[in-house]
Amino acid sequence: MIGSSLYLLATVGMVAVSGVSADSLKAVRRDSLRLPSDTSLSLSVGGFLDTYVAYDMGRPRTLDRAYTTQPARHNEFNVNLAFVELGLSGPRVRGRLALQAGTSVQANYAGEPRLGSVSGPDVGRMLQEAYVGYELRPGLWIDGGVFFSNAGMEGWVSRDNPIYTRSLVADYSPYYSSGVRATWQATPKLTARVDIVNGWQVISESNEDKTLGARLDYALTPVTSLSWYGLAGNEAGARLRLFNGIGLKTKVGARVELMAQADVGSQEAADSTGAAGQSSSWYGAMLIARVTVAPAVALTGRVERYNDQDQVLITTGTANGLRANGASVGIDVRPAPRLLWRSEARVLAGEAAIFPDRNATAGLSTRNAVVVTSLAVTF
């Protein structure tokens, strides 16, 4: 303490003689108290850019494509997803900050709630992830901030997904969450995760309740893993929403990869007085296959089914909501290690006329088809 006081008096004297400003004095003092840098921490910098053009056979008049996040625009050269990221890693510390933009971001974050004057999507949608974590004990991490959701099997970043577009079951379950999570590597084969988050795919809070999430990933074999995930919380006017899903990833030989997912959810429905009454439900499933036919070429395909007849998540304005089957085929080419060219054709067939179609009666059709090609680079 005496040494620090003498140091400060000497520094003040030097300032008085030399005419150095008070701000400079503060900087000198601050530097004298700065701890040595932790050389065990590492910082990584990266980014991703996914450009695309898609043609929707229904030719929507607004150019916005319905019931999807990727690709979100018709007949338009645009950016699907672009982000820059900083990653921090150390023996017991980790973190990631990724800032993003693109049409998929606009589509996916359109439902961010506004409660108060400083909430909503204006800033929130820019945060793909923004979290910091600490390892409490070997294999047990606590993270806080904005991070990818515990739900589902398909990923948000297109390069990491086995097929370019996303299934309905992926687009209508959370891609991201905001809160705290605990991840535990319980055994070499079993990973457990528990989340406490603001709600169903929100950064800004929509009510005063929180949502509980959980996930288990178990490696059955070196090439096969089984997952379970769930969410429970009050949504849509403090009505209890329950959600569960199972997923499977596996390889068949050296060339074939398979991914499957099945989800089911329920929510308390409002009765005629507006109070919680009987429950409404929805379900969805998909199966994806990816076949490597050459070192830089792969063929992809997906089949899917989605049913939200009670319109819990998807409001269509029809009696039976969105009930549809879908199929996709695609080809991926990697001309260079960091470059990925993907093309895909996708068809959805519903039971009601809900898809925008300029040539159909009343401008709506029971079917929707789109072709898309994308060129993406990782840097």
> How is 3-16 classified by DSSP, letter by letter?
HHHHHHHHHHHHHH
Residues 195 and 310 in one domain: yes
Same domain? 200 vs 261: yes
In a domain, 378, yes or no: no
Residues 278 and 135 reside in one and the same domain: yes
Indicate whether 208 belongs to any domain: yes
pLDDT in tens, 76-92: 999 999 999 999 999 99
Range of the structural domain that residue 24 is part of = 1-34
- β-strand pairing of 78-89 with 339-350: unpaired
Cβ atoms within 10 A of the Cβ of 6, count?
10
CATH number of the domain where residue 201 is located = 2.40.160.10
Residue 337: is its pLDDT beyond 50?
A: yes
Are the C-beta atoms of residues 148 and 129 closer than 8 Å to each other? yes
Q: Is residue 52, in this structure, part of any structural domain at all?
A: no
pLDDT value at residue 19 = 42
Does residue 344 fall inside a structural domain? no
pLDDT of amino acid 278: 81
Are 184 and 240 members of one domain? Answer: yes
Q: Taking a C-beta distance cutoff of 8 angstroms, is the pair 229, 213 a contact?
A: yes
C-alpha to C-alpha distance for 348 and 342, rounded to whole angstroms: 20
- Which pLDDT score, from 0 to 100, does residue 39 have? 61
Nearest Cα to Cα of residue 313 among 172, 109, 149, 106 = 172
Q: Quick one: pLDDT band at residue 28, thresholds 50, 70, 90?
A: very low
Q: Where does a domain end: 305, 326, 347?
A: 326
- 98 and 238 in a single domain? The answer is yes
- Residue 276: the pLDDT is 57
Q: What is the pLDDT of residues 345-362, one digit of tens each?
A: 999 999 999 999 999 988
- Residues 199 and 208: their CA atoms lie apart, in Å, by 10
Residue 334: inside a domain:
no
The domain total for the chain is 2
- 95 and 240 co-located in one domain: yes
pLDDT tens, position by position, 157-201:
999 999 999 999 999 999 999 999 999 999 999 999 999 999 999
Residue 14 scores a pLDDT above 50: no
What whole-number percentage of the chain has pLDDT above 70?
88
213 with 100, same domain: the answer is: yes
Same domain, 151 and 10: no
Residue 22 has pLDDT above 50, yes or no: no
Q: Is 360 among the domain residues?
A: no
Whether residue 29 sits in one domain with residue 81: no
Identify the residue whose tokens are 């089911």. 264
Tell whether 207 and 319 lie within a shared domain.
yes
What CA–CA distance (Å, rounded) separates 354 from 67?
Answer: 10
Q: What is the pLDDT of residue 269?
A: 83
**Residues near 278 by beta carbon (within 8 Å), at least 6 away in sequence:** 268, 269, 271
| Alpha helices (runs of H) in the chain, residue ranges in sequence order | 2-18, 22-33, 103-108, 121-124, 168-171
Residue 2 shares a structural domain with residue 131: no
Task: Clarify whether residues 279 and 183 are in a common domain.
Answer: yes
210 confidence band (pLDDT: 50, 70, 90):
very high
- Mean of the pLDDT values across residues 14-38? 43
pLDDT in the model for residue 5? 40
Residue 347 has which token pair?
């068809």
**Mean of all residue pLDDT scores within the chain:** 89
Residue 338 belongs to some domain of the structure: no
Report CA Rg, the chain.
Answer: 25
Q: Is the pLDDT of residue 10 over 60?
A: no
- Residue 208: pLDDT band (50, 70, 90) is confident
Taking the chain, what is the end-to-end CA distance rounded to the nearest angstrom? 49
- Whether 213 is in a domain gets the answer yes
Which pLDDT band holds residue 120 (cuts at 50, 70, 90)?
A: confident
Report pLDDT digits (tens) over 262-316.
999 999 987 654 555 689 999 999 999 999 999 999 999 999 999 999 999 999 9
The yes-or-no verdict on residue 55 having pLDDT over 50 is: yes
